[in-house]
Amino acid sequence: MRERVECAEPVRMAEFNPPDERKVPVMSRRVWAAIGMTTVLLLGTGSAVAVTTAQNDSATPMADMLVDSESSDASSGPRIALMPPADPNAVLPPAVPPTVAAPPAPVPAKRAAAGAQAPSAVGAVAPSQVPSQKRILALVKRSFPANEVGNAMAVAQCESGQANLVGSTNSDGTTDFGVFQLNDGGSLQTSLGLIRYSYGSITDAQNAALRAEVNVPAAAALWRSRGGWGPWVCAHKIGVVASLYTNERGPAYGTFTAVGNPGLSLATAKPVKEPSKKPPKKPAKKPTAKPTKKPTPTPTVKPPAAPTPVQAPSTPSPSSTPSSAGTE
């Protein structure tokens, strides 16, 4: 504890001189050998006490500076050095207020660009720029059969919004990555192996899944190896499969447009009429056309031929007629 001593006259800093060591033997010599010296003035109505402090390499405590334990005894108590009185007419220098550094101006946070993906919450993995739907559709058409394009786009829309998204951590500590949300608990590694994509660590596999050029073909390879949409939970949510983790076709299978939008409303879709079980009517027999009788040609009657005239026997002449002789 330090003692407070009152002085008769106020102390001025302008004429302060260090006391002689012979007059004030109780002051420690280390006080005057210190690097820095600070004078604290306590101004009041007719009283002041000056305390000199210093700090050196050995971090001398304040009590050691004010009180010399070697020269003090228990009977007299600690001795305190007082500054000599100064001229009351002396002019003190104006007090300079301490300079307080202004706080640095706050730097405005950068606003995310429109359409930019929010940063990932998974370690060093950060999703790349969201690909366009046109790009996703081109990759799906290249990787899936033509009759599965609508189903694939609908599953991708349900899983990630057709974006390179890092999903939330699942209850088992795993995380889903990319357009088709491939799970890093095994499905991601299996699908990358099916397309023979090599990676060095799980972080490399996660970064690869955030590229649509890798994610979509890997999902198609997994779809083929599992025989359908059973591995995707969203396939059951949107009705592509009938039940969870099965490949049985659901009521919405094949009802989606090329970009994954519902093509038919299941509530308003008209039921398809089943064909009638009655045998179809036999076509009526066409009447057989009777053959047209050809007209019988009328026989042409030839006119009778004219008779050939018969020549009359010629009458012999008398000269040529033999004479009849009779002799008896």
Reported as a pLDDT band with limits 50, 70 and 90, residue 189 is very high
Distance in angstroms (rounded) separating the CA atoms of residues 154 and 148: 10
CATH architecture for the domain at 133-237: Orthogonal Bundle (1.10)
User: Residue 314: CA atoms inside 13 Å, Cβ hemisphere, count?
Assistant: 5
Q: What's the rounded Cα separation, in Å, for the pair 223 and 152?
A: 10
Q: How far apart are CA 39 and CA 17, in angstroms?
A: 12
Decide which of 23 and 145 is more confident: 145
Q: What CA–CA distance (Å, rounded) separates 12 from 25?
A: 23
Identify whether the C-beta of residue 218 lies closer than 8 Å to the C-beta of residue 244: no
Per-residue pLDDT at 318 exceeds 90: no
In this predicted structure, what is the pLDDT of residue 288? 74
**pLDDT tier for residue 282 given thresholds of 50, 70 and 90:** confident
Q: Which of 12-26, 135-149, 249-263 is least confident?
A: 12-26
Q: Where in the chain is the domain with CATH 1.10.530.10?
A: 133-237
Q: Residue 117: what pLDDT? A: 38
Give the separation between CA 206 and CA 135, rounded to whole angstroms.
21
pLDDT value for 245: 92
pLDDT of residue 70: 46
- Average pLDDT rounded to a whole number, residues 13-21: 53
Per-residue pLDDT of 51-75, as tens digits, reads 444 444 444 444 444 444 444 444 4
What percentage of the chain exceeds 70 in pLDDT?
Answer: 46
Burial of 209 per CB tally in 10 Å (0-12, 13-18, 19+): buried
| Percent of the chain's residues with pLDDT above 90 | 38
CB 156 within 8 A of CB 139: no
Rounded distance between C-alpha atoms, residue 183 and residue 270, angstroms = 39
Whole-angstrom Cα distance, residue 170 to residue 260?
Answer: 26
Split at pLDDT 50, 70, 90, the class of 49 is very low
What is the mean predicted confidence (pLDDT) over 265-272? 44
| Averaged pLDDT, 286-302 | 72
State residue 285's pLDDT score: 75
Under a CB-based contact definition with an 8 Å cutoff, are residues 193 and 119 in contact?
Answer: no
Torsion of CA 7, 13, 14, 15, to 10 degrees: 40
In the predicted model, is pLDDT for residue 141 greater than 80?
Answer: yes
pTM of the predicted model, to two decimals? 0.45
Q: Tell me the pLDDT band of 263, cut-offs 50, 70 and 90.
A: confident
Amino acid at 325: A
